[in-house]
Amino acid sequence: MNCDVCKQKPASVFLTQIVDGKMQKVNLCESCSKEKGVTDPTGFALADLLLGLGASEEMERGNAPGTKCPTCGFSQADFKKTGRFGCSQCYDTFADGLENMMKGMHKGTVHKGKAPARLLKAMQMDEELKKLQRDLSKAVAEEEYETAAELRDKIKHLETETAAAKP
């Protein structure tokens, strides 16, 4: 079995990662594993390696061959070599191929990072408030006044609670 990176030397390092029930395997030769930092656990990310291996093929399916970024001139071949884009405009230029690739690598295409608990609670309360307001408008439009009165009371309670939670 040959190395997945150089495709020439026999593989001697075998990596397996299971993400959301999908198994991803990478086979590397000795020199490619050292080059990728596999011997240093703090400097190695399997996702970064996989990005460099399969990303260009995924991008080629969604973009016309020879596509280059108008801002920096980066091409799909440059992306394949470095595993990184040249500028922020590259994300728009290669967007068609990126979406499928990102879905395969991550749980989705929307970043959901960490946030302080207080902020998350405020965001949830805002979403709940918007939902209640939509429901209230719908109830009034359908002349369901009892339901509308209950929703109005819930909105007032939530607005009071939200105001109290803010510093």
How confident is the model over 100-110, as pLDDT tens digits?
666 666 666 66
pLDDT score at 41? 46
Same domain, 101 and 66: yes
User: Is the same domain home to 92 and 70?
Assistant: yes
Give the number of domains in the chain: 3
Torsion angle (degrees, nearest 10) of CA 38, 44, 45, 50: -50
**Domain co-membership, 14 together with 59:** no
Residue spans of alpha helices (H) in 7-144: 30-35, 46-62, 76-82, 89-93, 95-105, 117-141
Between 129 and 88, whose confidence is greater? 129
Q: CB 6: neighbour CB atoms within 10 A?
A: 13
pTM, two decimal places: 0.35
Classify residue 5 as exposed, middle or buried by CB count within 10 Å of its CB (0-12, 13-18, 19+): buried
Last residue of a domain, one of 110, 125, 146: 110
Same domain, yes or no, for 52 and 24?
Answer: no
Q: Is residue 100 domain-shared with residue 56, that is, in the same domain?
A: yes
Identify the weakest region by mean pLDDT among 20-24, 66-70, 116-120: 20-24
- Which residue segment(s) compose the domain that 35 sits in? 1-43
Judgement on whether residues 23 and 53 belong to the same structural domain of the protein: no
Q: Do residues 96 and 125 share a domain? A: no
Query: DSSP code of 44?
Result: -
Shared domain check, 49 and 80: yes
The two three-digit tokens of residue 20, written as one number:
């959301």
pLDDT at 156: 94
Residues 100, 51 share a domain:
yes
Q: Are residues 58 and 36 in the same domain?
A: no
